[in-house]
Copies of this chain bind each other. A is one copy, B any other.
Amino acid sequence: MYSYTEENYLKAIYKLQEKNNDAINTNSIARVMSTTAASVTDMIKKLSDKKLLEYQKYKGVQLTESGKKTAIETVRKHRLWETFLHNKLNFLWDEVHDIAEQLEHIQSQTLIDKLDEYLGFPTHDPHGDPIPERNGIIKTSNYVLLSDMTLEKEGIISGVVNHSSLFLQHLQKIELTLGRLVKVIEINAFDLSLSIQLDKDQKIQISNEVARNILMKTK
Using CB atoms and an 8 Å cutoff, list the residues of chain A in contact with chain B: 85, 88-91, 95, 98-99, 102-103, 106-108, 110-111, 114-115, 118
Count identical subunits in the complex.
2
19 sample A-B contacts, Cβ–Cβ < 8 Å, listed by A number: A85-B111, A88-B118, A89-B111, A89-B114, A89-B115, A89-B118, A90-B114, A91-B110, A91-B114, A95-B110, A98-B108, A99-B106, A99-B108, A99-B111, A102-B106, A102-B107, A102-B108, A103-B103, A103-B106
Cα distance, A115 to B187, chains bound together (Å):
45
Chain B residues near A115 (CB-CB < 8 A): 89
Nearest opposing residue in chain B for A85, CB measure: B111
Apart from the given pairs A89-B114, A99-B106, A99-B108, 16 other A-B contacts in the complex at a CB distance below 8 Å: A85-B111, A88-B118, A89-B111, A89-B115, A89-B118, A90-B114, A91-B110, A91-B114, A95-B110, A98-B108, A99-B111, A102-B106, A102-B107, A102-B108, A103-B103, A103-B106
With a cutoff of 8 Å between Cβ atoms, the chain B residues found around residue A106 in the complex are: 99, 102-103
Minimum CB distance partner of A88 in chain B: B118
Chain B residues within an 8 Å CB radius of A98: 108
Residues of B within 8 A of A103 (CB): 103, 106
Residues of B within 8 A of A85 (CB): 111
Collect the chain B residues with CB atoms within 8 Å of residue A95's CB: 110
A58 to chain B, nearest CB (A): 36
Given the complex, which residues of B lie within 8 Å of A110, measured CB to CB? 91, 95
Kindly provide the distance from the CB of A189 to the nearest chain B CB, expressed in whole angstroms: 45
Taking the closest CB of chain B, its distance from the CB of A85, in whole angstroms, is: 8
In chain B, what residue has the closest Cβ to A118?
B89
Q: Which residues of the other chain, B, contact A118 by a CB distance below 8 angstroms?
A: 88-89
Chain B hits for A111, CB < 8 A: 85, 89, 99
Separation of A111 and B98 alpha carbons in the complex (Å): 11
In the bound assembly, the distance between CA atoms of A88 and B111 in angstroms comes to 11
Q: Across the interface, which residues of B come within 8 angstroms of A99, CB to CB?
A: 106, 108, 111
